[in-house]
Each structure stands twice: as structure tokens, then as C-alpha cells.
Amino acid sequence: MTWNFSSFFGHGPQKVLYKSNGRTYVFNSGDLNGKIFKPQGFKNRIQALLIGGRLDKDGVRLAKWLVVLDARRVEIYVEASMKHAERQQTVKVAILLVDTFAPFPILGPMDILNMSCDFCSSTSDGEVPGATFETELVSTGNKPLRFGRRVTLRPDASIATARRPDLVFIPALGAVTESLLKANRGFIPWIKACSLRGARVVSFCTGSFLLAETGLLDGRAATTHWRYADLFRKMYPEVDLQPERLIVDEGNVITAGAATSFQDLILYLIEMYCGREAAIVTAKNLALDIGRQSQLAFTIFSIQKAHDDRQILRVQSLMESHCHQRLTMKQLAKCGGMSMRNFDRRFRNAAGEAPSIYMQKIRIEKAKRLLEASRFTVGEIMSMVGYEDSRSFHRLFRAFTTLSPKAYRVKYGIHAASDLPLSKFPDRRSESATKKSLSTTNRRSGLFDLRHDP
């Protein structure tokens, strides 16, 4: 028997079309997700499971389905949004009242969800179809959460009395410590129980640490605040961490990146439950960007020296202080007193990545800081960080930041504002002198000098 998975569209009761032997069968995705069934008039049993999702290059959400028909398996990405999604009933959202550093990780998502309902019901073109979100602040007990003397958040329910949610939202925790995780571990059994009952669990920023504690991320991809990526990998090696991504959708588990990425996450969820038009209306009313996919532009590279390999530490210091020179991996291995193979293995074990990638990150980070704080041209900066080929430099810079050097300077440059008085700019002559001095030092420096600690 021949069959094909031909189309998929909408939100809520999403329609799935199967074609078999010239006949078309239409099912609701609610009947498909995770279940095995045999529809009337259909000879074979079907199982389909929503196992993930992603955004395409135009920011359109794609759902990833695993379809099993007569033991044959196929994974398919299909568009999961449309201009007018079918209106759903109320979506019950439980926002965890976690012990965190500020009220905005809790109140921000709640406010955007609540306001989206008003925005969609009062557009100039009439009502935009979509879900109604009912938010509930849930804590492990009935104790209020206080932030200084001015802000106190009181829970609507405890995990013992909360209604059954469709969506569980884990806010950012702040700086991750063992004591902070311990203070919030009371949520873990309840989160796991909600997930088993079919709730979608989402987190942003360091809330992913609490989500990872539940085990729901094991064997799956996830993202978190880029600053805590190394700690996350160390604590949860079974999770496929992708810190460059802003949102990672694994079907019933979704994670988002740093700090205010909750705005992107909420817009993503609004599109998921209400349709793209509702997400666009909400984004326009709140002046939010929509469709962002990466947090690379915000990332600050941190030197990975939390290890005890003294030879690798010494090589790392040399790489940092001499990144403007054209150093080969063979030279660095020789400086460390190791063979190429041993050097590559030990460097990966100590720093977490290949030495060539590490060197590129050091150079690009230095280029970013020069673009931010100096008035050197892009070509001058390229030379100052050890690159000779302009195309190669621009390609690598975009790969690590998602921006061109010029766009990065416009976005983050201290001197990018045209209305700054000239007295605020650094003396160009002093920068030229610095560059000349650096070039002279480079010419005088050799491999022999690199063998000594800088």
C-alpha cells in the first residue's frame, strides 16, 4: 500500500491529511499526537508524535512530526502557522513563582500573554482569531515572594491546589548556584507530573537549569543564557546544548536564551497557539522584534581556564596575547611541548573546543571590542586581530555574531551616535601611534618569544 503525508496546517485542532491508494483521510492532530489509532475507513494503524520544531529562514514556525505507519517511520517538517489559525479554547498557563532575582522574569511573560488577548480582540480589522490565556502564579507553598520592600508577589495557587495547566512556564533563576537550585527543587515532581499529563513545559534564561533537573531535557536539544553555557554542559552532559540559538523547540519542551528572550519566547508561543497574525499584532503593539533566531550577537566570549592543565593554560595565555600574529597550530603545539595530536586532544579536553576555533573566537572577540570602543576602520581592525583576507574575516565575523562588522559597530559602537561632541572621541593620532607601535612589536616578535610567558 502506498501512502504519503501530504499536508499539515493550523493551530489548535490542526488538520493532518493522509493519502492512501487514491483516498484522502483528514484527522485532527489531537487524535494523532502520541496515540495509536485506526480511523474509520482506514485499514492501517497510525501513530504520529510531535517531536520538535524550528524556525525557517523567514521566521515561520515549522513543526517536526514523527509519523509511523505499519512500522515505517518518517520525520517531516511542515508549516505550523497560518494567517488565521483556528480559534482554540482557553489555554491555562502556570507561571512558576520561583525564587529569583527580580519580578520581571515572572511578571513580564504574564503581562504579555494577558495583553495579547486584548490586542487581538481590538484590531482595526476586527477580531484576530486566537486562544485566550489564563495565567496563574504557582508556588510550592502559600508564602509570598518579596523583592526588597516595594514588590511582593503572592501566589494564586500552590502546586497542591493549582489547576491542571496546558502550559508550564519556568522563569529565569538568576545567577545559578547550588543553593538556588535547592530552593526551587520543590517544583520538580510537579513539573514532571504536568508533563506526563500532556502539558508543554517552557523555560527561558537560567530557568533551563531547573528544567534540566527534571530530566525532561535528557537526550534533547536546549538553549540557555550564553553566559552559563559551560556550567550547563558540565552539569547536564546528556543535554544537547545549543547556546547560539535563541529558541529551541522540542515539541512538548521549549527553551529560550538569555534574560529578555522571554519576549521572543512569548511571541513564539502566541504564534503557536493563536497564529502568526496574533503574534504580529502583539509584537507591533509592544514594539517587540519578532522572528529572532540567534543570540550570538549578544554573546561575550569568556576565556575557558577552569582546568588544571598547566601546559594548556600557558598556550591559552600565548594565544590571547599574540592573537594579532599569524600563529599555526603546529607552532602552538611546539610551544606547549606537545605533538600535534596530543595538543589537540588535551586542548579539547581542557577548553571544550578545538584550538583553531578557540583562536578564532579570541580574535573575533577582540575585533568586537575594537569596533565598539575605537574609530579604527574595519580593515585596520582586521589586521590588528591577525587576519589578512577581508572575505575570510567578514565570513567568520558574521558566523560568530550574525552581523557584519559594519552592522555590529552601528549597533554596539560607543561612538556610533552622530551627535556625540568631537571632544568625546579619542585622539586619532594616539590610536595611530598605538597601531604603529603594535606593528613594530609584531615584526620584532618571533616564535622564540612565544615560548616564554608574556
Question: 330 and 383 share a domain?
Answer: yes
pLDDT in tens, 187-198: 999 999 999 999
Closest CA to 109 of 93, 130, 90: 93
Tell me if 357 is assigned to some domain.
yes
**Could you tell me if 180 and 285 lie in one domain?**
yes
Q: How many domains does one find in the chain? A: 3
Within a domain: 305: no
If you average pLDDT over residues 356-368, what whole number do you get?
A: 94
- C-alpha–C-alpha distance, residues 53 and 436, integer Å: 51
Does 147 reside within a domain? Answer: yes
Do residues 441 and 380 share a domain?
yes
Is residue 105 domain-shared with residue 218, that is, in the same domain? yes
100/135 Cα distance (integer angstroms):
19
What is the tens place of the pLDDT at every residue in 248-269?
A: 999 899 999 998 999 999 999 9
Q: Please report the pLDDT score of residue 44 as a whole number.
A: 53
pLDDT of amino acid 149:
82
Average pLDDT over residues 222-245: 93
pTM over 0.95, yes/no: no
Residue 400 and residue 278 share a domain: no
| Per-residue confidence (pLDDT) for residue 94, from 0 to 100 | 97
Question: Is residue 86 in a domain?
Answer: no
User: Helix or strand or coil: residue 226?
Assistant: helix
Output the nine-digit C-alpha cell for 212: 534540566
pLDDT tens across 81-109, in order? 433 343 446 899 999 999 898 999 999 99
For residue 182, what are the domain limits? 91-298
φ and ψ at residue 233, rounded to 5 degrees:
-60, -40
17 and 54 both lie in a single domain = yes
Mean pLDDT of 126-134: 71
Task: Tell whether 148 and 57 lie within a shared domain.
Answer: no
Q: Identify the CATH number of the domain in which residue 146 sits.
A: 3.40.50.880
Do 148 and 278 lie in one domain? The reply is yes
* Domain end position, chosen among 238, 264, 298: 298
Residue 260 lies in a domain: yes
Strand duo 133-139 + 145-147: pairing? unpaired
User: Average model confidence (pLDDT) for the chain?
Assistant: 79
CATH number of the CATH domain containing 422: 1.10.10.60
Residue at a domain's end among 56, 79, 102: 79
Q: Does pLDDT of 431 surpass 60?
A: no
- Predicted confidence band at 127 (pLDDT cuts at 50, 70, 90)? low
Beta-strand pair 91-96/72-79: unpaired
What is residue 97's three-state secondary structure? coil
Residue 187 belongs to a domain: yes
The answer on pLDDT for 383 being more than 50 is: yes
Q: Looking at 49, 79, 109, which one is the last position of a domain?
A: 79
> Both 236 and 101 in a single domain?
yes
Cα pseudo-dihedral 105, 110, 116, 122, rounded to 10 = -130
- The answer to whether residues 125 and 72 belong to one domain is no
Judgement on whether residues 245 and 324 belong to the same structural domain of the protein: no
**Looking only at Cα atoms, what is the longest distance across the chain?**
83
Instruction: Using a pLDDT cut of 90, give the percent of the chain over it.
Output: 53
Q: What number of residues does the chain have?
A: 454
- pLDDT digit string, tens, across residues 32-84: 444 444 444 545 555 555 555 555 555 555 656 555 555 555 555 555 543 33
Residues paired with 65 in a beta bridge: 50, 76
pLDDT of residue 118: 82
Position 435 pLDDT exceeds 70 = no
Q: Is residue 303 assigned to a domain?
A: no
CA-closest candidate to residue 29, choices 73, 65, 77, 74: 65
d(C-alpha 83, C-alpha 379), whole Å: 45
d(CA 373, CA 229) in angstroms, rounded, equals 26
154 and 284 share a domain?
yes
Position 215 in a domain: yes
Local confidence band at 277 (pLDDT 50, 70, 90 cut-offs): confident
Q: Is the pLDDT of residue 123 over 50?
A: yes
Mean pLDDT computed over 200-214: 96
CA distance 127 to 122: 6
